[in-house]
Chains A and B, each alone.
Chain A
Amino acid sequence: MIDTGITLLRLLLGLGAIFFLGYALLTLLVPRPRDFSCFERAAFSFGVGALTLTLWMLALTWRGVPFGLAWILGPPLALAAALLLTPRGRRAVREDRRADRLRPPMALSGWDWLFLGLLTMVFLYALPRAALYPMWSWDAVATWGCKARIFFNTKGLDLICIDAHNYYPNLIPLLLSYLYFALGQVNDYLVNAIFPLWGALLLGLLYSLSTRVGLSRRFALGLTAFLALNGTVFIVHLYIAYADLPLAFFTLGGAALLYLWLADAAPRGSLTLAAGFLAGMAWCKYEGPPLAATLILAAALTLVWLRPAHWVRRLGQLTVPLAGLVVGYLPWRLFIVQQQLEIGADHIQGFYPHQMVQGIYHLLAGLVSPFYFGFLWPALALALVLAGKRLWRSPMLFLALFVGGNLVAIILAYAVAPTSAAEFPGYVRATLDRLLLHLTPVAALLLALGFKDLDQAPASDPGRGSQGLTAISNPRPEI
């Protein structure tokens, strides 16, 4: 019993260190972290903390320093403490503490309780399902969990004994192995708690962003529950230890920050923070760099199409998220070159038109399948129709371009996939739900923007988000 308590305490301290590091870096990246809600700060802190800690572990391997808790945590935590002791860091902490004391109690209505109850039900199932069952799912055992185990045992990024996908980015395996070091042992069920945590942070971020773009609290909570309890994919990914949920988390953060920036509604420092999230996308999964690149491309196309004031200068400012993408992508690529790791080219073998036709069919079927994401994607189609001209006259266009462009990219990816005719349906079944998961939280945010006009609660409604922004509410381009 005491052992279990100590193990849980070590896990909580390990996770707390990630938040602490991320929060300290947030005070460096953002002039006033208080401009973000507590949900956003929690999500951004964890994302930035996880990214920094794992890149640091890559740097340790590069320098030939064997992993150990002192080396993994010591320098980053010293840096975090130093950042929080600067005037800027002290002010951020002081403002946060003052805001916590002044926060009025939330008055929840019947619908709020229902949506909160549904969300609680999801996590009452997913958290013990994740943290009390050992890793069992395919990719967890074959790739992410296996690497984490090896990195812990060999105290470094030893990829000699594994020949499957060893060129994949390593944010997840390194984070899991860091938690093994925090626990002092390989405990491949307790560390799975990080996945429902990631899901909760994603949902908190979506809720907060929905209120930020003008939805009332009730609608925002409803939308959050609508994402979590629609189809099986999101719930299953809360406990199967795949890298797709973290990628979806980073994608939502990056897309939302860029959207707010395009809508002139972003707190100061958002573009730098977006760069951090794009770095997270690139370092999280093989699909991350192209996904992050399409975010930048969609933002550039939106600027060119809407031509807001200073649009050329703003195009230049997109080099900031581009730099983030490079920071997330380049260190691992250089490491691969240095270590002479073989890079798979399993997705570029040729172009197969018949697979493209089948891919279109499977994608459309997947989008409307209640088993995958329930009614979320059909609801998005409806929301886009309801949005009307607003879709191409406002920064909503950015999110629509990103989601639509990536749906097309999925079809193209299937058209070049080197599978036999017999294997192809199985290949699609094994990948489509995950590829859609990367986009679905962004689709939910787009849904929030589409349905915003239906949410007609008066501004004085206590359930209305206090951060509804004129710039976003205005259907005309204001960027």
Chain B
Amino acid sequence: MRTWCKTWRFWLVGLILGLWGLQVLWLIWHFGPEARDLAQRAARGSLGGAIRQEDPLYRWATTLAGIIPESATYVFLDDYAAGKEIEVRYYLAPRRHILRPPEVPASFLFYALHQEHAAFLLIRESPKPLGPGARAAMHSLAFQPVNLPGPGLTFRVDYSRLRWGFYD
């Protein structure tokens, strides 16, 4: 009985180890493309900061960093789930960053800009049409478009001109 128990224990352990062997092979296959990318980049010497330069969002954000003072606040219109606003916030830190959804109504957007003393409004490019807040901003005198190439629109904001109350 004792020998039988030992035998099935070793069979079970053997099964786990066999499956693990297959797992290791699968892992090599799974990480293969990333390892290849790493090797190719190392061969080209395009690593570290050079990787960032390939990203248009990064190039846009670094240009913005030259325009937006470090003490300023900006409002960024984007979907949180897209994961791009966190990148822009990262590049523009320590500037104060306020996220609002692209479909934000004009009243909420104007209220946020006024209340937070925001000096800039950034709208990331999206295949969807602009929301009501962004459309209203384009026609308001409080917003001055800044001509910057990149995957988004930039407006300089004079929040003092957005002084009325909003009861949307």
Contact = CB atoms under 8 A, between A and B. Distances in A.
A389 B34 CA distance: 46
B41 A161 contact: no
Contacts of B48: 132-134, 187, 189-190
A374 B23 CA distance: 7
Contacts of B148: none
Interface string A264-296: 000000000000000000000000000000000
Interface stretch (A138-146, A208-216, A344-352, A358-366): A138-146
Contacts of A370: 23, 26
Interface stretch (B89-97, B121-129, B136-144, B157-165): B89-97
B23 A146 contact: no
Interface stretch (A148-156, A193-201, A334-342, A391-399): A148-156
B22 to A, nearest CB: 9
Nearest to A153: B94
A134 B52 contact: yes
Contact of B94 (A142, A150, A378): A150
A168 interface: no
The range of chain A's interface size is 35 or more
Given A129-B38, A132-B42, A160 B96 contact: yes
B93 A153 contact: yes
Contacts, number: 95
Interface in B44-77: 47-49, 51-52, 70
Contacts of B95: 161
B13 interface: yes
Contacts of B47: 132-133, 189
Interface stretch (A53-61, A87-95, A226-234): A226-234
Nearest to A124: B35
A386 interface: yes
Given A161-B96, A454-B13, A149 B23 contact: no
Interface centre among A146, A150, A160, A451 (most CB of B within 10 A): A146
B86 A138 contact: yes
A125 B35 contact: yes
A344 to B, nearest CB: 15
Interface string B9-27: 1101100100110011011
A138 B27 CA distance: 23
A235 interface: yes
A382 interface: yes
Given A128-B38, A454-B9, A118 B90 contact: no
B31 A125 contact: yes
A228 B122 CA distance: 43
A382 B12 contact: yes
B151 to A, nearest CB: 17
Contacts of B2: none
Contact of B90 (A141, A229, A454): A141
Contacts of B24: 118, 229
B34 to A, nearest CB: 7
Contacts of A132: 38, 41-42, 47-48
Interface of A: 118, 125, 128-129, 132-135, 138, 141-142, 145-146, 149-150, 153-154, 158, 160-164, 187, 189-190, 226, 229-232, 235, 370, 374-375, 378-379, 382, 386, 451, 454
5 contacts: A134-B52, A189-B49, A230-B20, A374-B20, A454-B13
Interface of B: 9-10, 12-13, 16, 19-20, 23-24, 26-27, 30-31, 34-35, 38, 41-42, 47-49, 51-52, 70, 83, 86-87, 89-90, 93-98
Which 6 residue pairs are nearest across A and B when measured between Cβ atoms? A142-B86, A132-B47, A161-B96, A374-B23, A161-B94, A141-B90
